Amino acid sequence: MARMRALVAVGAMFGLAAGASWAGGPEVPTKFTNNTSITETRHNLTQRDNAGQVDAIQMDPYRNDYAEVCVYCHTPHGASSALVAPLWNRTRKSTSYQTYDLLNTVTITQTITTPGVNSLTCLSCHDGTTAVDSIINMPGSGNYDPAQETQNDDGAINTFLNGWTNPSGTEAVNHLKLQAGATGCLGCHAPGTLASSAQDFTIFAIGTDLRNDHPVGITFPTTNPDFNLTTGTSARGDIFFDLDGDSRMDKNEVRLYDTGEGPEVECASCHDPHGVESAGSGSQFNPTFLRVSNVGSGLCMTCHVK
């Protein structure tokens, strides 16, 4: 019976739903080309691609168009001190998560704690609690509010964000979140509610219940024959799977993050939010921002001996 329970948990991981597979695709179709730069991916929240195929104007009422790709996540000045990630520009709400250990699968041997910084960055959009355009320092002067670092009040967030005027015209007064329901992005981006030509984003809305996702905030075993040993250590001590032996954490290398509890698996262990070329410079990015293609379960077997 215990074995059954573990298997059920495995099936539930990543919520293997419509069209999704661990083979690394097929992806939910996109109008972005998914190569060259983050600008050409869904993480371009200005919703523009070079060919102008994505109709950004349709999206303008629902999020501020800062007309800059990086600013939804980073700022050169006034970055967050509440979430210590590279020049981080996003609001960090106080959110509690249901972590994988609550499933009580008998097979887990490692310690799971709350998601670390290198997961909280992603969750600041993907858990659906915070508007995707809720940042601390909007472009231009006078558009900075340090209270945004830890703002929990949606009213205050909206008041601040409403100070922004979209360059493309239509004003955003709805600052939507990656969540279901009429007041969320899935109000148009889900089956049944799909606006014409909008894509189904249900599987991207991870929520605060992480029990059906690969564990994060989990320490990495060092003496377990079911796991490969890491092969590289960076100058500052981070450990990772060094593919080219240069002791540098390259973006196509799976890594662990030590934020005080020992090296742990976090979202960014497997994903690089800027995209990673699948076959060298100029090639198509791996699907779903993966650091390593999961064709043939290559990503999984970087860590797991199976």
Scan residues 200-259 and list those touching ligand HEC (CB under 6 A): 201, 203-204, 206, 213-216, 218, 220-221, 254
Q: Which two tokens stand for residue 112?
A: 């799971």
**Shortest CB 295 distance to ligand HEC, Å:** 10
The residue (of 215 and 232) whose beta carbon lies closer to ligand HEC is 215
For the stretch 72-81, contacts whose Cβ atoms lie closer than 8 Å and that sit 24 or more positions apart, written own/partner, are: 72/45, 72/132, 72/133, 72/135, 73/121, 73/273, 75/135, 75/136, 75/137, 77/137, 78/136, 78/137, 78/144, 78/146, 79/136, 79/137, 80/136, 80/149, 81/149
Assess 190 for contact with ligand HEC (CB under 6 A): no
Nearest approach, Cβ of 125 to ligand HEC (angstroms)?
3
Spell out, one character per residue from 90 to 129, where the chain touches ligand HEC: x when CB under 6 A holds, - when not: ---------------x-xxxx-------xx-xxxxxx---
Q: How far from chain centre, in Å, is Cα 140?
A: 26
Q: Does 136 bind ligand HEC (CB under 6 A)?
A: no
Residue position matching structure tokens 């020992």:
262
Is 63 near ligand HEC (CB under 6 A)?
yes
**At its nearest, how many Å lie between ligand HEC and the CB of residue 229?**
12
- From candidates 36, 143, 158, 199, binder to ligand HEC by CB under 6 A: 199
Instruction: Give the CA distances from residue 205 to residues 11, 84, 128, 166, 179, in Å, rounded to whole numbers and listed in that order.
Output: 18, 24, 7, 25, 6
Quick one: which of 40, 48, 62, 253 contacts ligand HEC (CB under 6 A)? 62
- Single out the segment in contact with ligand HEC by CB under 6 A; choices: 38-46, 139-147, 162-170, 231-239: 38-46
Is residue 250 within 8 A of residue 244, CB to CB? The reply is yes
Q: Check residue 27 for interaction with ligand HEC (CB under 6 A).
A: yes
User: Dihedral of CA 28/31/253/239: which sign?
Assistant: negative
Closer of 85 and 157 to ligand HEC (Cβ): 85
Q: Which helix (H) or strand (E) holds 240?
A: strand 239-240
Minimum gap (Å) between residue 275 Cβ and ligand HEC: 9
